Structure 1
Amino acid sequence: MPDIFLLKAIAKTIILPPTGLLLIILVGLFLVHRFPRTGRAIAIIATVYLLALSTPFASYQLMHFLDTSPPLDLNEARHAQAIVILGGGIRNNALEYGGDTLGRLTLERVRYGARVAKNTGLPVLVAGGSVLGGETEAKLMREALENEFGIKVRWSEDKSRNTRENAAFSAAILAKENIRQVVLVTHSFDMPRAKAEFITAGLPVIAAPTGILNGTLEWPSDYLPGIGGLQASYYVCYELLAKLVMRMSLFQ
């Protein structure tokens, strides 16, 4: 039986931009011969959406719609009892590292989590298993924090394969330590859903988002399509899709 998480990864790739919109464009072009007006309309609309999502302007508007969390208040953070850093993917078989290493999103979270840990003195839990094989995110995060940032990791949650499991398994580990509130480190676009999952798991959090957009759009290139804008839009679309799936599961 196929692994459900592998199927989800494949579905995510097919549905989200750019692949999803490119497939719609191909469908439109395929229909042009039999239904010229309909086929052209489908292809043109999908192309316009793809170009729009590729602009920093559009990705910023989407990010702002998804989350407006302010930067962490260190004074508030000191009321928590631990820091939880969520994994965000790994690079498999990174040749320059001689094996698996942290992906960009995870590295950004680890770096910011290390900063928060140094400023608060709170103990750290890293959370993330392995979705498609290879090293677990938690193991790689621990190694980076301890060997590169000088931050001791007290707990590793290395069984989870999605945000819901991140929250449930982390809450179970911390409950044994009588920890009732944590600082949660993840990206701004991921914070609303992650925060909701941790609250559902019975663990209140103080949000510590990284990757917060400052809203500065002052260059002509901010209104032109580019890979940076498309990547940011991809993350937002992923979160919106995940929130939709989460809501549907609540009604089952």
Structure 2
Amino acid sequence: MDFDPHLALFWLKKLASVAMLPPLLPFLLILAGLLLKNRKPRLCTATTWTGLIVGLLTITPYPVGEALRLLEPRSPLAITDLEHAEAIVVLGGGRMSNAPEYDGDTVNRYTLERLRYAARLTRQTGLPLLVSGGAPAGDTPEATLMKAALQEDFGVTVRWKEDRSLDTRQNARYSAQILQQQGIGSILLVTHAAHMRRAQIEFESQGIKVIPAPTAWQGPRAGDEDRGWPALPSPSAAYAGWYALYEWLGLLAYRLSR
């Protein structure tokens, strides 16, 4: 098998993100503190407590919500913006392997959230639809699974399929090539609200005008302030905390790579 530097970089970034994000990050900090117990007691205490605090902050709704508030758009797509778009682009969010009820691989629930909204917009506007997502492990491209779900489960036709990308930057690069060949310069971009800022930056850097069409907000929304005391740590907050830190890390990586 030929060496693919783009694929190697993809897996290297994945491994780095595992170490730099919860749930592993707090445990690594705590472990580092314990290893320093005999040699540097003060550093041991500081590192261990840092791990505990980081772990707690990333599973508690209020700090997680504040991290998401700065990432997610304040409002959904406005109806008046629909007339300015020439196509809809929906980005893949992951796959489910060996789903027994589907006799094989299919999209995961995060991709499905995006596809549901993309299908709704397609019916509202009649705009052509592009799905974007590759196959880092060399199996069925995510875009192929997305196309099947849209056509079989939502009854929506997919015009274009971009199936080479391994990350958001490549989503934008390869999708832009398809769109520009068709004379399309303005799109409705569908992805999770927390991912929208990074995705929009990447597409606009390729010369595509983006009209954000975010979905699946995880941070605070209007009316949440009326629900009383902040909620306690929970599994949903833990996932949202991971997602928020992942996106902030992605934005940092983008700035460092410019």
- TM bucket, shorter chain: over 0.9
1:1-252 mapped onto 2 (5 Å cutoff) = 3-212=8-217, 213=219, 214=221, 216=224, 218=227, 220=229, 222-250=230-258
Deviates more, 1:31-40 or 1:189-198: 31-40
CA distance in 2, matches of 1:219, 1:153: 44
Size of the alignment, in residue pairs?
249
Q: What's the Cα RMSD here?
A: 1.5
- Supply the AA of the counterpart residue of 2:110: L
Q: Secondary structure at the match of 2:147?
A: helix
**1:95 positional shift:** 2.6
Deviates more, 1:142-151 or 1:14-23: 14-23
- Supply the AA of the counterpart residue of 1:143: A
Q: Secondary structure at the match of 2:148?
A: helix
Relative to the length of structure 2, the TM-score reads 0.92
**1:219 positional shift:** 5.6
Q: Which runs of 4+ in 1 moved over 6 A?
A: none
Provide Cα deviations, 1:138-185, integer angstroms capped at 9, x if missing partner: 101100110100110000000111111111111110112111100000
Provide Cα deviations, 1:161-210, integer angstroms capped at 9, x if missing partner: 11111111111101121111000000111101100111100100100000
Unaligned runs of 5+ in 2: none
- Supply the AA of the counterpart residue of 1:95: P
Tell me if the contact between 1:74 and 1:120 (Cα under 8 Å) persists in the aligned partners: no
Provide Cα deviations, 1:82-120, integer angstroms capped at 9, x if missing partner: 000000111122233221111121110001111111111
Instruction: Give percent identity, aligned residues only.
Output: 43
Tell me if the contact between 1:69 and 1:209 (Cα under 8 Å) persists in the aligned partners: no
CA distance in 2, matches of 1:132, 1:230: 27
- Supply the AA of the counterpart residue of 1:182: I
CA distance in 1, matches of 2:241, 2:137: 24
